[in-house]
Chains A and B, each alone.
Chain A
């Protein structure tokens, strides 16, 4: 067992690392869904934009400035998207808001396409995070090791924020009952804005970790991680933060095991890797069929 684990350590390491990155993105999805019942399709692209900002800013600024600046700009981006694309549609049917989200996603991708000229941009090497380390015989980057810890720390901080601060309480109230909390004097718009800003902040952190690992940013870089993170959020029970985090780690690890399937299980390559993305969905569907609201989702009962 230990031998097996040792031999395949590199798969598990990259699985845990990518899982942590998905988790940070997934929180953004799940929080927004909890409050607005909106699948924020643009979230993956906010993540991609954070990556691009870093590419452009670090070209002229030192990391001490560019890293915080990227965090701030991403938060601003999240805020603007909510303000411009979602708030005007607050009373519109849910489908319209979701279409707006798809529209924003499309817009961000195409803007990135135009400004990058459709080429992959090389992500800067962040000192320390980018250096290689060897752990128990597996060579990897420091970022791989840092990611899960950073993720857990951020999630704990976020849970404390939601449990113990006034704004956190407001968030919980709004996600429980939108109308009533409005009547109770909670400033809904403020809560929603802050939710988007927190989500964007975490996406920006995820972008540092993710792109340091994979080194290049393209306009479509956000699509797949975004989709996977969203699946993780649904998988864990959308609206539940611990659910999203656990879902993300499970998906990250499974995905890497599938990719390494031929080597791990000694099954000669019969196109396993074709299914590394599809597997995520297959897993999700099985979970949904067995437990229609995800692992930690609350059951909703229609009043008749």
Chain B
């Protein structure tokens, strides 16, 4: 009986090996684009929304003409689980699947962690919303189409100091998280240079009790609560801030631009302001068509967080796809090395604005930060004036 089962197991495993090994015959008219995004873990919600943007763009434009041949674009997904140690293997999966270019990831830590795998394989990667400078710094294979944390942090610090009039700010980052840690760091740098005072703390992985941090913010006499953490933690913070009566504005970065936040904040006594890449309504045509597409399928709707609010990361994902296609066309080949070369000079006009990369690190040249305020009655975003920095 047991031995029979063993035979079965061995047979099963050998079949796994067969199928996993031979990924099937190569189709010469297919070009593969890797999607290196988290579908689970802390950043799962954001990763899924970003992926939706890519999928939507792929749905609209499933082919690309490189040279004279028309290629079908195949998206290869790999879930990096929002975890830095899984990122390397997820990246290896994409590389192994012969992707010409990789998009992602949401979250800076995983991008940094996966970066070397792409470097060694010589596959270019396009960061979509990973804002930490270290992603692209000092390498030639990682590009990015969004603005960077020093920029965003400066904008946020100015906003807290000038617009909100705060002189003492409470900063909360997640321990070991490159995104929140980095952004808080640049925020503090700027805020202190403006003459403000900060109280800075971190919370460990897996923490779900924020009441003490909220009490700390209240007790230390801070005027703004700055916490650019993952949406997962954000939900908890909003909830506990409401029940404990935080009584000060909450300020956050691009991660909080998500309907997860809106849902959590709806009907609560909280004051949330975020900075982001794209405000819904900036391109009504795109908005309407995307909403229709999302509403047509329950899985898509679920992946978008249950409603059809458009997150900035979705718009960025959408632009990233077209940016990659443009690069493929410019390269005139689907060879990763050629694409990498072509990316430096690729430019497009996307829904989030004009995208061109600088020639130092391959970062996007952007000067606009959009600001949104959560409307706790309607459960939507109110757009505030965008900040343009020269």
Contacts and interface: CB of A to CB of B under 8 A. Distances in A.
Interface string A264-276: 0000010101101
A256 B213 CA distance: 9
A271 B173 CA distance: 11
Interface of B is mostly: helix
B202 A14 contact: no
A180 interface: no
> Which range contains the number of B residues in contact with the other chain?
35 or more
Contact of A273 (B41, B203, B243, B260): B203
B39 A117 contact: yes
B264 interface: yes
Contacts of A7: 219
Interface residues of A, number: 39
A118 B207 CA distance: 17
Contacts of A224: 206-208
B211 A117 contact: no
Contact of A10 (B199, B203, B206, B211): B211
Given A120-B45, A140-B244, A216 B235 contact: yes
Nearest to A220: B206
Interface of A: 7-8, 10-11, 14, 18, 113, 117-120, 122, 130, 132, 134, 139-141, 213-216, 218, 220-221, 223-224, 255-256, 259-260, 262-263, 269, 271, 273-274, 276-277
Contact of B236 (A141, A215, A220, A269): A215
Nearest to B81: A118
A273 B39 contact: no
13 contacts: A10-B212, A10-B215, A14-B215, A18-B209, A118-B39, A119-B40, A120-B235, A141-B243, A213-B240, A224-B207, A259-B209, A262-B201, A276-B204
Contacts of B239: 214-216
B201 A122 contact: no
B263 interface: yes
B208 A118 contact: no
B245 interface: yes
A235 to B, nearest CB: 19
Nearest to B246: A139
A151 to B, nearest CB: 17
B270 to A, nearest CB: 13
A263 B204 contact: no
Point out which of B218, B263, B305 has the most chain A C-beta atoms below 10 A from its C-beta. Answer: B218
B302 interface: yes
B220 A214 contact: no
B40 A221 contact: no
Given A140-B244, A263-B215, A119 B201 contact: no
Given A215-B239, A216-B232, A274 B175 contact: yes
B273 interface: no
A73 B219 CA distance: 42
A218 B175 contact: no
A122 B212 CA distance: 21
The 3 closest A-B pairs by CB, nearest first: A118-B40, A259-B212, A215-B239
Contact of B212 (A11, A118, A139): A11
A214 B208 contact: yes
B63 interface: no
Given A140-B244, A269-B199, 9 more contacts: A18-B209, A119-B40, A130-B243, A214-B239, A215-B236, A215-B239, A255-B209, A273-B202, A273-B204
Given A118-B40, A214-B208, A220-B206, A259 B213 contact: yes
B216 A262 contact: yes
Contacts of B84: none
